[in-house]
Structure 1
Amino acid sequence: MSSHHIVRENQEPALFIANPDCLVDEYLNQLLEWSPTIITLAEHYESLKAREIKIDVVLDNQGLESHVLEEHISLIPYSDSYIGPLFSYLKEKNNFAVNILTDIVEIALYLPYLGDFNINLINNKGKTLFVKKYEKWLPKGFNLFIELEEGKLGEMQNLKPLGDRDYAVLNDGFVSIPQQESYFIISEEL
């Protein structure tokens, strides 16, 4: 018996490859299985094309000529930071979820967009989420890294502290962190 998935446009998070080398191919291939919209920087276009990864959008600060790209690819120029043009493109396409391959885990870059977008940062260290509340079923022993800019998280359920910001799940079941006033960072192991 086979299973068939019907994926509507923009139902799956887009995939923005800011750093193609920060995630092993096994996990990258899992992200590519759902055929997301794939966005990258001009400097990574050729290497991703050589790996037979189909790019949909290239963010360019190198003055690329559109004729060097395959026909279907959108070219979006930017000058200072690619963050604004990335989220403008996603909003224009009504895609409000994005997985970003990057080693740079910094909430300040994404704060202006967190109210409208579901943003996950992914690299070999794990999957990082920016949330105000967290609730998820996890297996016993699963590790989380939690970083809060200010204040305390309150009563966490089913977690034991391992160190400064490291926690482990006590028992198979739901882990929860109550609603916060501001966003905090939580990283899950892959």
Structure 2
Amino acid sequence: MSSHHIVRENQEPALIIASMDALDSEGLGQLLEWSPTIIANDYTVDFLLAEDIKVDVVFSEKQTIYAQEQIQHFPLKVGFLHDALSHLIETNHKAVNIISDTLDEELLSFCAAINIVLLTPGRRTVFLQQHYEKWMVKGRRIYVDERAIVTTAGLQQLDHGLFETLADGFFRLALRGNEFIAIGEDL
């Protein structure tokens, strides 16, 4: 990071790590570049500490003393993702990247309060409402429930919930209503 960049607290997306298998080390390294607030659980904290990655918060079912100082420890109340997202919202974080094995529908209930990007094996998912526009190369796959779509531009439907970009350039989705919709793309 160059000296003219000043990162204010909670400005960069936090990082919730629910799985170590969902993202390769290069992808994880890119997420760690700006020193985000890192939240782990019983299953990921040991790996992170072994890799000498600074962990800020652990949600756990057990009381553990960690070699790394300054780790905040909270007991699980509802579930890891729910508790971690609630904590980030309470501490005024505006965005979060989540590394997980699966897309949890519960995430939709937090989208109005925090911007969420979910990284699962081979896929990046954003949660948006009303419209989505992005530049991509031809042939990239987009995953979205077609029942949520009003119109598309630059996409062709291949199967239920599966679209492909028609050319290099922007594609657009107009979405129904004000509900948040999961939109995925291959990594």
> How does the TM-score come out when normalised to structure 2?
0.89
Deviation at 1:123, TM superposition (A): 2.2
What code does the residue aligned with 2:15 have?
L
CA distance in 2, matches of 1:84, 1:8: 25
The aligned length equals 184
Which residue of structure 2 lines up, in the alignment, with residue 24 of structure 1?
24
Residue 161 of structure 2 is aligned to residue 165 of structure 1 = yes
Which residue of structure 1 lines up, in the alignment, with residue 103 of structure 2?
105
Which residue of structure 2 lines up, in the alignment, with residue 86 of structure 1?
84
Deviates more, 1:33-42 or 1:173-182: 173-182
Which residue of structure 2 lines up, in the alignment, with residue 189 of structure 1?
186
Deviation at 1:152, TM superposition (A): 4.5
Flag structure 1 segments of 5+ consecutive residues without an equivalent.
none
Q: Which runs of 4+ in 1 moved over 6 A?
A: none
Larger proportion of strand: 2
Go from structure 1 to structure 2 and tell me whether the alpha carbon gap of 1:17 and 1:37 turns closer, same or farther (over 3 Å shift). Answer: same
SS at match of 1:58: strand
Deviations 1:49-79 (A, max 9, x none): 1112111110111x223x3352211111114
State the identity %: 38
CA distance in 2, matches of 1:25, 1:83: 22
Flag structure 2 segments of 5+ consecutive residues without an equivalent.
none
Give me the CA root mean square deviation: 1.9
Deviations 1:17-41 (A, max 9, x none): 0011111111111111121111110
**What are the within-5 Å matches in structure 2 for residues 146-157 of structure 1?**
146-147=144-145, 151-157=147-153
Deviation at 1:140, TM superposition (A): 2.0
> How does the TM-score come out when normalised to structure 1?
0.87
